[in-house]
């Protein structure tokens, strides 16, 4: 699964969890982390049934030929690939050049752009749906709030926001993820849901699941999926 995932089930670093051994020093920039992981990341998260269920629900709600932004698209699978195969017009954006190159090869019917989404120009009401699958975790909390507000404004009224995160209370925690030093921030489930609501989205569906990445360091971690519509 190309999208960004992986923290843990508490804000405390621990062996073998998504917030594993505390790292010494600052985490690497997201681009460097996911450049290093590449296709290994996709393999580790490919079996997420909850992510597939979320995509199926999104497909059921989308009008034919919808314009969709896949923010933090990773390798393009499963999100961009699933949406493009259903005939939707997909723009995938990722800060990792390795990931976007993989995505362009794997999903030829979607468009991919290597960019920091925090600096990406977004027009008002230009998308029918925006997907944010686990792609906020290496941003500071304030950056996450600001970006979610911008992403919601880029939706047409009634447009769909799909957001997923690892719902833990963590602010600027240095950790090691799949062998890579990272700095992660997140919100608990209630706070993340409130964040989405304050950004201008009516939450219509939420789903929580535990998932264990297929990786030597993998251990069960909580995932939260939210679907909603822009007011």
Q: Can you say whether residue 62 is alpha, beta or left, with left for phi > 0 and alpha for psi between -120 and 50 degrees?
A: beta
| Residues 71, 120: Cα–Cα separation, whole Å | 11
- Give the model confidence (pLDDT) of 120-163 as tens digits: 999 999 999 999 999 999 999 999 999 999 999 999 999 999 99
Q: Which two tokens stand for residue 107?
A: 């999903």
Contact 38, 187 (CB under 8 A): no
CA distances 173 to 1, 141, 217, Å, are: 23, 11, 18
Distance CA 76, CA 82 (A): 9
What does the DSSP 8-state code read for residue 130?
Answer: E
Distance CA 5, CA 3 (A): 6
Name the band, by pLDDT with cuts 50, 70 and 90, for residue 28. low
Using an 8 Å Cβ cutoff, are 44 and 107 in contact?
no
Nearest CA-CA partner of 40 in 82, 72, 75 = 75
CB 82 within 8 Å of CB 106: no
**Phi/psi at 137 (5° precision):** -65, -20
Q: What is the CA radius of gyration of the chain?
A: 16
Entry pTM? 0.87
Instruction: Please say if the pLDDT value at position 183 is more than 50.
Output: yes
pLDDT in tens, 33-83: 777 777 788 888 989 999 999 999 999 999 999 999 999 999 999 999 999
Tell me: pLDDT of 174 over 70: yes
Mean pLDDT of the chain: 87
Alpha-carbon distance values, 167 to 90, 113, 161, 188 (Å): 27, 28, 17, 4
CB 196 within 8 A of CB 148: yes
């Amino acid at each position: 699964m190309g999208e960004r995932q992986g923290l843990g089930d508490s804000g405390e670093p621990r062996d073998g969890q998504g917030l594993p051994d505390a790292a010494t020093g600052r985490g690497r920039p997201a681009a460097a982390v996911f450049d290093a992981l590449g296709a290994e990341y996709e393999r580790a998260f490919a079996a997420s049934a909850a992510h597939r269920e979320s995509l199926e629900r999104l497909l059921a709600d989308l009008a034919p030929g919808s314009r969709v932004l896949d923010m933090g698209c990773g390798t393009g699978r499963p999100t961009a690939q699933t949406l493009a195969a259903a005939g939707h017009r997909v723009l995938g954006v990722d800060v990792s050049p390795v990931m976007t190159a993989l995505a362009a090869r794997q999903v030829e019917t979607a468009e991919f752009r290597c960019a920091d989404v925090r600096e990406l120009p977004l027009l008002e009401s230009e998308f029918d749906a925006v997907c944010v699958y686990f792609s906020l975790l290496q941003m500071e909390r304030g950056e996450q709030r600001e970006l979610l507000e911008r992403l919601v404004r880029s939706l047409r009224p009634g447009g769909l926001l799909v957001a997923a995160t690892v719902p833990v209370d963590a602010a600027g925690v240095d950790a090691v993820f799949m062998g890579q030093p990272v700095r992660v921030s997140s919100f608990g489930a209630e706070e993340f849901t409130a964040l989405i609501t304050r950004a201008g989205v009516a939450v219509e569906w939420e789903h929580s699941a535990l998932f264990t990445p297929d990786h030597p360091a993998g251990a069960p971690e909580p995932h939260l999926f939210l679907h909603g519509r822009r007011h």
